[in-house]
Structure 1
Amino acid sequence: MNFASDNVTGASTAILDAIVRSNAGPLASYGADPLSAAVTERFRALFECPDLAVFPVATGTAANAIALAALVPPFGACLCHEEAHVMTDECGAPEFFMHGAKLVGLPGEGGKIAPAALAAHLAVPARGVHHMPVRALSLSQATEGGLVYRPDEVAALSALAHEHGVAVHMDGARFANALATLGCTPAQATWRAGVDILSFGASKNGALAAEAILVFRPDLAETIAYRRKRGGHLLSKGRLLAAQLDAYLADGHWLANAAQANRMAARLARGLARLPGVRLPWPVEANEVFPILPAALDARLRAAGAVYHPWRTASLPAGESVGEGERLVRLICAFSTSETDVDALLAAAGADGA
């Protein structure tokens, strides 16, 4: 009963098979192979963007750090949610790659940045060289609270940012889960809503180790090419990254995986919500569930072998709080999570089925 993360699961069979197929024979290195070129074209078609530049990397941290470094100079600042992964879980990698630039956290319920909060920050008058100018806004899709930005919400935030000369980055570690919920096209969720760079995630949703920096602004492509190499993230055997991304995108595999994870999260949420003393402060919009549990139930689940993480309370909705004798926790479903897995946890919790 491991619901700690969608990183705890292995890779999907389709992606493992693709790696094996790509392994045979010699091919050009450092992404100059035909499969890497084909993946670029696949992404361009998927995102309806013929000028899209595609830079595969092995980790989400690399994707975020390199992307933000291309947008923010050492004397600049990047705005993000105060609980964003780039802020709290990447050991300062974005700031390291930005050579001293700062991440500045903004508040918001469920990990979402509200336009009013962004506008208020951008409205503060700059003090010349005494003030680090904001050069980027980073949005997490889905958020650290498991919520999903709608295209109109992304567009509103992007418009505010662009009015102030601020570029927009999207951390799409769970982009597939968000898109499976939104039902819109990848283009509508990104560049058509104002996103300049997307960190496109695959590792949490079936890949072995594969992400991609998708650059919608051609003027940024060259600097990212050099930064990826200089940062040690241009793999010599690039075809093995390309093979994963190719299989991930083929035949809608990425969205099918995400939809399964989302369905299991919804099933888990329904079952937990029926238990006495359990409440869900946010709706379940992707593959993450954040119940507030009675401490006794939390202890019972852990004693039964359930694995999950306690969670921060800073972005709870107004009027909601975690009382004494309660725990806010996070449970995540993966593409490989089954109804049997979910129902085992619900049974341990005392639920009567999903």
Structure 2
Amino acid sequence: MIFTSDNAFGVAPEILRALGRANGGGVPSYGEDEITKGLTRRFSDVFEHEVAVFPVATGTAANSLALATLTPPFGAILCHEVAHVNVDECGAPEMFSGGAKLIGIGGAAGKIDPEMLAATLKTFRHGDVHQVQPRCLTLTQSNEAGGVYSLPELSRLVGIARDFGLKVHMDGARFANALVALGCSPAEMTWRLGVDVLSFGATKNGAMAAEAVVFFDSELAGDFAFRRKRAGHLFSKMRFLSVQLEAYLEDELWLRNARRANAAAKRLADGLKATDGIEMLGEVEANEVFARLPMAVFKGMMKMEAAFHPWPNPDDAAGGHWMQTIRLVTSFETTDEEVDRFLALVRK
């Protein structure tokens, strides 16, 4: 029973088959193959808008290179204080941008508070050479705390960013999970709200190793091709990244996988809610579940065959350290039987 992360799971069979089909024969390298060239049309169809799309192998590369394209070395990138780009990417956004400063903003459920964002932007001395200049807002959808921005929430934050002349990037490592949770279209959650660039994730939802940077204004892509090459993400055998994305979008595999993962998370959350002594933290919106267990239950579960991560929570210290927060993440491969076995162990 694996609940550590959705990137702990395997590759969707449809994508494995596509990789096998792409393996035969020789084709032009460095993205000049027909599969890679066809991604522009495929993504444009999905987003109902002409886009420029660049496959890369990791989410860190997608985020860091996208942010570097939007932000000069003397710029500031505003993000949530617990955003992946801020705490889990080892300074990659700063490195690839040449030194841009990440500034964390607070907010419940991993979502940036709009009042805090506006207040922070007002503190900048615009045009003052002694201070970094705000250039980009990045929003994670869905985010590290399991939260999903509603469309009105996204619209408000993008509007604030626009008022201060910022570009907007979306970290969509779990883009599909957020999309099916909201029941909207890819266009409604991105460019129609004013998002400029999307890091489109696939690895957490069935790909072997494939992400894409999607520009909704091709002019913004600018020198991105050079940045990708310099970062080592222009694969010589690019067809093997591209065919994963092609298969991912084929017959709505990405949405079907996300629906399964989200449904497994809801089943897990419902079961935990019905268990005495378990405290749920927030509503389950996508495929992440946060709960507080009595310490004895937590220690007992750590000895079982279930894998999950404890999650830092200052509130756990209240009352004599008798509670422990955990995070559980489901995937397209999580079965009802695994969920039910986990719940049975908790109750035992």
Report the TM-score, using the length of structure 2 for normalisation. 0.97
Matched, 1:11 2:8: no
Compute the displacement of 1:303 (Å): 1.3
Compute the displacement of 1:109 (Å): 0.7
Q: Which residue of 1 aligns with 2:196?
A: 196
Q: Distance in 1 between matches of 2:136 and 2:293?
A: 37
Matched, 1:327 2:298: no
Q: Distance in 1 between matches of 2:218 and 2:312?
A: 38
Q: Which residue of 1 aligns with 2:92?
A: 93
| Mapped contact 2:181–2:286 kept (Cα < 8 A) | yes
Q: Distance in 2 between matches of 1:223 and 1:58?
A: 19
Which aligned pairs between 1:160-309 and structure 2 lie closer than 5 A?
160-309=160-309
Q: Which residue of 2 aligns with 1:103?
A: 102
Q: Which residue of 2 aligns with 1:337?
A: 334
Provide Cα deviations, 1:203-248, integer angstroms capped at 9, x if missing partner: 0000000000001122222321111111111111111111100000
Matched, 1:62 2:61: yes
Q: Distance in 2 between matches of 1:131 and 1:221?
A: 26
Compute the displacement of 1:143 (Å): 1.0
Secondary structure of the corresponding residue to residue 246 of structure 1: helix
% identity of equivalent residues: 51
Q: Distance in 2 between matches of 1:71 and 1:287?
A: 30
Could you list the runs of 4 or more consecutive aligned residues of structure 1 that deviate by over 2 angstroms after TM superposition? 320-324
Amino acid at match of 2:61: A
Amino acid at match of 2:326: V
Q: Distance in 1 between matches of 2:296 and 2:88?
A: 29
Listed as ranges, the gaps of 5+ residues in structure 2 are none
Q: Which residue of 1 aligns with 2:344?
A: 347
Secondary structure of the corresponding residue to residue 214 of structure 1: strand
Compute the displacement of 1:37 (Å): 1.6
Provide Cα deviations, 1:30-69, integer angstroms capped at 9, x if missing partner: 111111122221100000112x000000000000000000
Q: Distance in 2 between matches of 1:257 and 1:172?
A: 15
Which aligned pairs between 1:105-144 and structure 2 lie closer than 5 A?
105-126=104-125, 128-144=128-144
Compute the displacement of 1:322 (Å): 5.8
Provide Cα deviations, 1:115-166, integer angstroms capped at 9, x if missing partner: 1111111111416011111111110110111011112211110111011111
Stretch deviating more after TM superposition (117-126 or 76-85):
117-126
| Mapped contact 1:3–1:306 kept (Cα < 8 A) | yes
Report the TM-score, using the length of structure 1 for normalisation. 0.95
Compute the displacement of 1:250 (Å): 0.4
Q: Distance in 2 between matches of 1:129 and 1:327?
A: 46
Q: Which residue of 1 aligns with 2:48?
A: 48
Secondary structure of the corresponding residue to residue 252 of structure 1: helix
Secondary structure of the corresponding residue to residue 129 of structure 2: helix
Secondary structure of the corresponding residue to residue 186 of structure 1: coil
| Mapped contact 1:154–1:194 kept (Cα < 8 A) | no
Q: Distance in 2 between matches of 1:251 and 1:298?
A: 41
Compute the displacement of 1:321 (Å): 6.3
| Mapped contact 2:316–2:322 kept (Cα < 8 A) | no
Amino acid at match of 2:71: V
Q: CA-atom RMSD, angstroms?
A: 1.2
Matched, 1:39 2:36: no
Compute the displacement of 1:311 (Å): 1.4
Q: Which residue of 2 aligns with 1:310?
A: 310
Provide Cα deviations, 1:174-204, integer angstroms capped at 9, x if missing partner: 0000001111000000111111100000000
| Mapped contact 1:292–1:322 kept (Cα < 8 A) | no
Provide Cα deviations, 1:269-326, integer angstroms capped at 9, x if missing partner: 0111112221112110000000011111111211112211111337xxxxx7663211
Amino acid at match of 2:63: N
Secondary structure of the corresponding residue to residue 129 of structure 1: coil
Q: Distance in 2 between matches of 1:82 and 1:19?
A: 38
Amino acid at match of 2:56: V
| Mapped contact 1:322–1:328 kept (Cα < 8 A) | no
Amino acid at match of 2:280: L
Q: Which residue of 2 aligns with 1:317?
A: none
| Mapped contact 1:53–1:216 kept (Cα < 8 A) | yes
Compute the displacement of 1:23 (Å): 1.0
